[in-house]
């Protein structure tokens, strides 16, 4: 299967959590959490189009300044998503600096912030360098499906978890993978060309099978129809396979409410990135701190029927014991306890 998503940890599991996802064919990337991002090369930072912040504890949000510094002087739109209060928080960071020299830069970044509350209400605000990052109020809309980013080829869904404060967990889903069989296109007498892009886009937006698709015939066949129904083309020249799904879960208590939300959000994930802050021997400490143990992380991955488990966000108290945390999670994931 073609790898449209290329995910990797930003840091060592004992350091600030974060996952960088390169959208291989789009020349851009997504970032889950915004702690220390110094290990990301400048070229990788500049690819980031969307940032998903779980919450504003320092190890999840302090990297905003690093991102801001890298984008200054560039024409760049960055969309940032986080829990309630994120717009005020970004405004506070931007207002801490003096911007009287911005006119001398060749380009200007824009930060479009969307904050999500537990009811599904999404509120936007925008900060443009051309206005010295003065706040522009956006709109507030209500969604009930948890989707915070929806594009033709992918979507990102969020769920609010409890960590003593509201924390967002995320699932990135590829809408579908459409594989066109070139040999079958040619066998029908059709030409391979730009019309296939329109064909794919019609499928991704859920068009009905009766929708006419403009086609191009090989060798300019006379008398051939200029359009064919979408349903016929779907049956003749393509196969749709489920896209990949990547989920990201950090900083949450092992409560019934959180368990239900995580399992639903991460169901069937190809990769589940999830915190494993404590060894299970310290489960009482984990409960008090409202974090997961490695065993709990693996159990959640099993409940969600995830295909692969990747743990991160280990407590510094276990420095040098990373393999124990990873092993404890994998054993629970594989039900080998």
Q: Which residue, 138, 156, 175, sits at the end of a domain?
A: 175
Q: How many CB atoms lie within 10 A of CB 183?
A: 8
Position 263 pLDDT exceeds 50: yes
At residue 4, the pLDDT reads 73
**Confidence band, pLDDT 50/70/90 cuts, at residue 1:** very low
Reference 50, options 165, 175, 137, 154; nearest CA is 154
For the chain, what percent of residues have pLDDT higher than 70? 98
Q: How many CB atoms lie within 10 A of CB 152?
A: 12
**Are residues 199 and 87 part of one domain?**
no
Residue at 246 is within a domain = no
**Confidence band, pLDDT 50/70/90 cuts, at residue 102:** confident
Identify which has the larger pLDDT, 240 or 12: 12
pTM: 0.86
**Are residues 159 and 54 part of one domain?**
yes
**Confidence band, pLDDT 50/70/90 cuts, at residue 141:** very high
**Are residues 262 and 222 part of one domain?**
no
- Let me know: does 122 contact 116? Beta carbons within 8 Å: yes
Annotate the chain with three-state secondary structure: CCCCEEEEECCCCCCCCCEEEEECCCCEEEEECCCCCCCCCHHHHHHEEEEECCCCCHHHHCCHHHHHHHHCCCCEEEEEEEECCHHHHHHHHHHCCCCCCHHHCCCCEEEEEEEECCCCEEEEEEEEHHHCCCEEEEEEEECCCCEEEECCCEEEEEEEEECCCEEEEEEEEECCEEEECHHHHHHCCECCCCHHHHHHHHHHCCCCCCCEEECCEHHHCCCCCCEEEHHHHHHHHEEEECCCEEEEECCCCCCHHHHHHHHHHHCCCCEEEEECCECHHHHHHHHHHCCCEHHHHHHHHHHCCCCCEEEECCCHHHCCCHHHHHHHHHHHHCCCC
**Cα of 286 vs its chain's centroid, Å:** 27
At residue 103, the pLDDT reads 83
List CB contacts of 47: < 8 A, sequence separation 6 or more: 22, 27, 28, 29
Look at the chain and report how many structural domains it folds into: 3
CA distances from 141 to 53, 58, 127, 144, 191 (A): 19, 28, 19, 10, 44
Q: Which domain holds residue 28?
A: 1-175
Angstrom distance (rounded) from CA 241 to CA 148: 23
- Let me know: does 304 contact 266? Beta carbons within 8 Å: yes
Beta bridge partner(s), residue 140: 123
**Are residues 106 and 215 part of one domain?**
no
**Are residues 231 and 168 part of one domain?**
no
Angstrom distance (rounded) from CA 73 to CA 121: 33
Reference 99, options 61, 135, 57; nearest CA is 135
What's the pLDDT tens digit per position in 156-200? 999 999 999 999 999 999 877 778 999 999 999 999 989 998 998
At residue 152, the pLDDT reads 78
**Are residues 291 and 203 part of one domain?**
no
What's the pLDDT tens digit per position in 119-129? 999 999 999 99
Half-sphere CA count of 29, side-chain side, radius 13 A: 21
At residue 3, the pLDDT reads 56
**Cα of 19 vs its chain's centroid, Å:** 9
Position 2 pLDDT exceeds 70: no
**Are residues 143 and 55 part of one domain?**
yes
Residue at 247 is within a domain = no
Position 324 pLDDT exceeds 90: yes
What's the pLDDT tens digit per position in 272-287? 999 999 999 999 999 9
What's the pLDDT tens digit per position in 36-71? 999 999 999 999 999 999 999 999 999 999 999 999
**Are residues 318 and 228 part of one domain?**
no
Q: Which residue, 212, 241, 270, sits at the end of a domain?
A: 241
Angstrom distance (rounded) from CA 76 to CA 78: 6
Sign, CA dihedral 104-109-111-112, equals positive
Q: Which CATH number do you get for residue 129?
A: 3.60.15.10
Rg, the chain, Cα only: 23
What's the pLDDT tens digit per position in 240-249? 777 899 999 9
For the chain, what percent of residues have pLDDT higher than 90? 81
The length of the chain, given as a count of residues? 337
């Amino acid at each position: 299967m073609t790898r449209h998503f290329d995910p990797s940890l930003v840091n060592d599991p004992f350091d600030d959590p974060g996952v960088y996802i390169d959208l291989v064919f789009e020349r851009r990337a997504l970032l889950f959490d915004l702690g220390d991002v110094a290990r990301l090369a400048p070229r990788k930072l500049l690819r980031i189009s969307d940032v998903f912040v779980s919450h504003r504890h320092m190890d999840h949000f302090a990297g905003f300044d690093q991102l801001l510094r890298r984008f200054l002087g560039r024409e760049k739109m960055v969309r940032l998503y986080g829990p309630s209060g994120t717009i005020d928080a970004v405004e506070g960071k931007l207002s801490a600096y003096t911007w009287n020299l911005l006119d001398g830069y060749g380009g200007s970044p824009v930060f479009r912030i969307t904050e999500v509350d537990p009811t599904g209400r999404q509120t936007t605000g925008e900060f443009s360098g051309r206005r010295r990052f003065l706040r522009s109020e956006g709109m507030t809309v209500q969604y009930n499906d948890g989707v915070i980013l929806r594009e033709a080829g992918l979507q990102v869904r969020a769920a609010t978890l409890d960590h003593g404060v509201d924390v967002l967990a995320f699932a990135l889903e590829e809408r579908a993978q459409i594989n066109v069989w070139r040999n079958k296109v040619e066998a029908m007498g059709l030409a391979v060309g730009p019309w296939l892009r329109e064909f794919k886009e019609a499928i991704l937006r859920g068009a009905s099978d009766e929708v006419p698709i403009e086609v191009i015939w090989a060798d300019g066949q006379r008398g051939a129809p200029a359009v064919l129904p979408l349903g016929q083309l779907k049956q003749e020249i393509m196969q749709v396979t489920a896209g990949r799904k990547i989920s990201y879960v950090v900083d949450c208590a092992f409560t019934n409410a959180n368990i239900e939300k995580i399992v639903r959000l991460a169901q069937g994930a190809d990769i589940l990135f999830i915190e494993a802050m404590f060894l299970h021997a310290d489960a009482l400490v984990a409960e008090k701190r409202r974090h997961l143990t490695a065993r709990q992380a693996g159990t959640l991955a099993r409940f969600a029927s995830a295909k692969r488990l990747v743990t991160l966000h280990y407590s510094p108290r276990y420095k040098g014991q990373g393999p124990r945390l990873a092993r404890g999670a994998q054993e629970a994931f594989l039900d080998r306890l």
